[in-house]
Amino acid sequence: MMINFYLCFMTLLIFYVNWNVYIFLFIVLILMYSTMSLNFFFSNISYVFGIDCISYLLVLLSFFIISLMLLSSVYLCSPSFLFLNLILCLSLYYIFSLLNMFMMYLFFEFSLIPLIILILGWGYQPERLVSIIYLFFYTLFASLPLLLIIISFYLSLGSMFFDYQFNYSLSFMLHFFMIFAFLVKLPMFMFHYWLPKAHVQAPVSGSMILAGLFLKIGGYGLIRFMFIHEYLFMNYSYIWYSLSIWGSIVVSMICFIQGDMKCLIAYSSVCHMGMCLMGLLTMTYWGLLGSYLMMIGHGLCSSGLFCMANLVYERLLSRSFFINKGLITFMPSLSMIWFLMCCFNMSCPPSINFLSELIIMGSMMNYFYWSFIYMIIISFTSACFSIYLFSYCYHGMFHNCYTYSFINMKEYLLLMIHLIPIFFIMLMIDLFFF
């Protein structure tokens, strides 16, 4: 509740302070939250709020990405933009920390509204109207059955709290309606068509929050409902497991035919979230841990890649691979950060992505031994499209014949803040073996 009041009172300051004071307030919030005590089960319970080991890092990631969004969008920081970001931050905090299913569902749906306003108000092309329709109807169509399931839980069991719900039903329809909304939000292959459209048309802050946080809501919801309905997941997870393996391979191939940098990064998110879903569906401790670490690592890495794609777009006014060639002569000082981000995107050590992929592979082999063949194919193709992204942008002939380092100190700071946690979380990995 302390964090809740802190965020609510920050709304009063949007007309009186500038963006750097606002970012400082978010840094203070991150430090306050980091000092909170944490137990394996729900701790710091206050009214309907509670934090456990699953939601702790996701809430911290929310505050972190929101502050980086403000840092990346200094030129857009009007009071209305700050207010939208604060509403998004509040919605995500409520989703990750509420103990009540219905309240979580309410903010799960509400978070769509400020995101739509962000894309409509600060998007690039007129096609953003089409992307909004995709985003709205996919989410609306998938999440209504979840509301009916939550109401049926309340009528049958008399409670909507996560720690009270235990059900032994084996109904496939119940299982499908319960997780359909989270599979669309994740997104799983075949339910992912809204994601590239929304990413391409969104401003840099919209892309960062979509890749860094909104895709994690799906994984978080699956984890919460998995603890409630273990029998359902044990019986039917092979369906989604098979689709995720096939989808990750197909989406990796789709990445090779993309001509837009943001499209490629968006499709790579679908591939990585497919791997995250495979780890969750194994229903093992290692699978859960690997998927959780992948969500954290992907949130930082994908957000950083979208930041760098936007830096290139601001200088050259294009995201096309056919125009953005030879950037190593135009922005040589950024080449190392581009290379590191692409390496971390393909899960190279010493990143948290590497460890998570290794743990997921072990849990997949425990679930279905021959999964390692498919996992090797997915890892190889993801490495290929990451190299494709870097080599097509930074090598080749630039269309002008001069060298100019066009990046300012604030943008270096923004990118380094993305990079450093990916590396240092790996050094503190013993904290996760709870």
Q: For the chain, how long is the longest CA-to-CA vector?
A: 71
Closest CA to 276 of 209, 199, 185, 194: 185
| Exposed/middle/buried for residue 103 (C-beta within 10 Å: 0-12, 13-18, 19+) | middle
Question: How far apart, in whole angstroms, are the C-alpha atoms of residue 131 and residue 407?
Answer: 30
Residues contacting residue 251 through CB under 8 Å, at least 6 positions apart:
189, 192, 267, 270, 271, 274
Closest CA to 74 of 309, 411, 418: 411
pLDDT in tens, 258-288: 888 999 999 999 999 999 999 999 989 899 9
Average pLDDT over residues 35-40: 69
Confidence of residue 44 (pLDDT cuts 50, 70, 90): low
Confidence of residue 16 (pLDDT cuts 50, 70, 90): confident
Angle at 268 (CA atoms; ends 327, 292), nearest 5 degrees = 125
Question: How far apart, in whole angstroms, are the C-alpha atoms of residue 256 and residue 266?
Answer: 13
Q: Cα separations (Å) of 308 from 49, 68, 150, 201, 386?
A: 36, 13, 41, 16, 14
* Spacing of C-alpha 86 from chain mean position: 18
3-state secondary structure the chain: CHHHHHHHHHHHHCCCCCHHHHHHHHHHHHHHHHCCCCCCCCEEEECCEEECCCHHHHHHHHHHHHHHHHHHCHHHCCHHHHHHHHHHHHHHHHHHHECEHHHHHHHHHHCHHHHHHHHHHHCCCCCHHHHHHHHHHHHHHHHHHHHHHHHHHHHHHCCCECCCCCCCCCCHHHHHHHHHHHHHHCCCCCCCCHHHHHHHHCCHHHHHHHHHHHHHHHHHHHHHHHHHCHHHHHHHHHHHHHHHHHHHHHHHHHHCCCCEHHHHHHHHHHHHHHHHHHHHHCCCHHHHHHHHHHHHHHHHHHHHHHHHHHHHHHHHCCCECCCCCCHHHHCHHHHHHHHHHHHHHCCCCCCHHHHHHHHHHHHHHHHCCCHHHHHHHHHHHHHHHHHHHHHHHHCCCCCCCCCCCCCCHHHHHHHHHHHHHHHHHHHCHHHHCC
Confidence of residue 222 (pLDDT cuts 50, 70, 90): very high
C-beta of residue 201 within 8 angstroms of C-beta of residue 131: yes
- Residue 105 confidence (pLDDT): 92
Residues contacting residue 325 through CB under 8 Å, at least 6 positions apart:
392, 393, 395, 396, 397, 398, 399
- Reply yes or no on whether the pLDDT at 58 is more than 80: yes
Q: Rounded to 5 degrees, what are φ and ψ at 54?
A: -80, -45
| Residue 298 in tokens | 């992907």
C-beta of residue 98 within 8 angstroms of C-beta of residue 86: no
Tell whether the torsion through CA atoms of 52, 186, 264 and 319 is positive or negative.
negative
Q: Rounded to 5 degrees, what are φ and ψ at 428?
A: -105, 30
Question: How far apart, in whole angstroms, are the C-alpha atoms of residue 192 and residue 267?
Answer: 9
Confidence of residue 433 (pLDDT cuts 50, 70, 90): low
C-beta of residue 353 within 8 angstroms of C-beta of residue 298: yes
- Residue 276 confidence (pLDDT): 93
Mean pLDDT of the chain: 86
Confidence of residue 432 (pLDDT cuts 50, 70, 90): low
- Residue 331 confidence (pLDDT): 82
- Identify which of 19-33, 59-73, 319-333 has the greatest average pLDDT: 59-73
| Residue 160 in tokens | 């909507």
Average pLDDT over residues 13-36: 80
Average pLDDT over residues 109-129: 88
- Residue 401 confidence (pLDDT): 56
- Reply yes or no on whether the pLDDT at 305 is more than 90: yes
Percent of the chain with pLDDT over 70: 94
Q: Rounded to 5 degrees, what are φ and ψ at 374?
A: -65, -35
For the whole model, what pTM was predicted? 0.92
- Residue 165 confidence (pLDDT): 63
Confidence of residue 402 (pLDDT cuts 50, 70, 90): low
C-beta of residue 312 within 8 angstroms of C-beta of residue 278: no
- Residue 397 confidence (pLDDT): 73
Question: How far apart, in whole angstroms, are the C-alpha atoms of residue 145 and residue 228?
Answer: 17
